[in-house]
C-alpha cells in the first residue's frame, strides 16, 4: 500500500463517523424539543444558512472554473473555502434546528409539488454528499489525483445541486426574506 493510500485510509474512520453521525444528529434535532435561550432569537440562522449555501455555490463554481483553466492552486483554495462554508453551514443548521421550530411551506397547488420534489431530493442528496465530499477532499489531500478526479465528477454536481437547492428552499419558505 502506498503512502498516499495509507493517508486516505487513515481518514476513513472520520469519514464514516461523520457520514453516519450527521444525518442521525439532524434527524434527532427535528424531533427534539427546542432549546430556548432567553432574549436570543435564532430564527435569523435560516438566512445565515441560505447565505452560507450561496457562498458554497459560488466557491464550487469558481473552483470548477479554476481547475478548467488549470490554475490548480486557486482550485484548491476555492474548494477548501467551499468545504469551510459547508462546515459553517452545518454548525449554523444544527444551532437553528436545536433552537427554532422549522418554518413550513405555505404554497398551494402545483408549486407545492415542486417544493416537495426539491426538498426531498435536497434532503436525500445532502445526506449522500457528506461522505462524497470527504472522500473527494481526502483524495486530493493525499495527492491521489487520479482517484480524486474520478469521484469529483460525481461529487461536484451533487454538491452544487445541494447548495443551490438549499438557497431555493429558503427562498420558497421565506418569500419576503424574513
Q: What are the boundaries of each domain within the chain?
A: 3-173
Decide which of 54 and 103 is more confident.
Answer: 54
**Digit-coded pLDDT (tens) for 6-52:** 555 688 899 999 889 988 988 888 888 988 889 999 999 999 999 99
CATH classification of 3-173, choosing from 1.20.140, 1.20.120, 1.10.10, 3.30.479?
1.20.120
DSSP 84-120: HHHHHHHHHHHHHHHHSPPPPP---THHHHHHHHHHH
* pLDDT in the model for residue 171: 96
Q: Specify the pTM.
A: 0.89
DSSP code of residue 144: -
Amino acid at each position: 500500500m502506498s503512502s498516499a493510500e495509507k493517508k486516505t485510509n487513515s481518514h476513513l474512520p472520520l469519514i464514516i463517523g461523520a457520514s453516519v453521525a450527521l444525518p442521525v444528529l439532524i434527524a434527532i434535532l427535528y424531533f427534539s424539543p427546542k432549546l430556548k435561550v432567553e432574549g436570543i432569537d435564532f430564527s435569523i440562522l435560516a438566512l445565515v444558512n441560505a447565505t452560507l449555501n450561496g457562498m458554497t455555490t459560488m466557491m464550487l463554481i469558481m473552483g470548477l472554473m479554476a481547475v478548467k483553466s488549470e490554475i490548480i492552486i486557486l482550485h484548491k483554495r476555492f474548494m477548501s473555502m467551499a468545504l469551510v462554508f459547508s462546515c459553517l453551514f452545518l454548525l449554523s443548521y444544527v444551532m437553528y434546528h436545536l433552537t427554532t421550530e422549522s418554518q413550513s411551506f405555505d404554497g398551494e397547488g402545483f408549486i407545492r409539488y415542486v417544493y416537495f420534489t426539491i426538498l426531498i431530493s435536497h434532503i436525500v442528496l445532502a445526506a449522500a454528499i457528506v461522505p462524497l465530499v470527504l472522500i473527494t477532499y481526502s483524495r486530493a489531500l493525499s495527492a491521489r489525483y487520479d482517484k480524486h478526479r474520478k469521484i469529483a465528477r460525481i461529487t461536484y454536481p451533487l454538491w452544487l445541486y445541494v447548495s443551490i437547492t438549499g438557497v431555493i428552499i429558503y427562498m420558497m419558505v421565506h418569500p419576503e426574506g424574513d
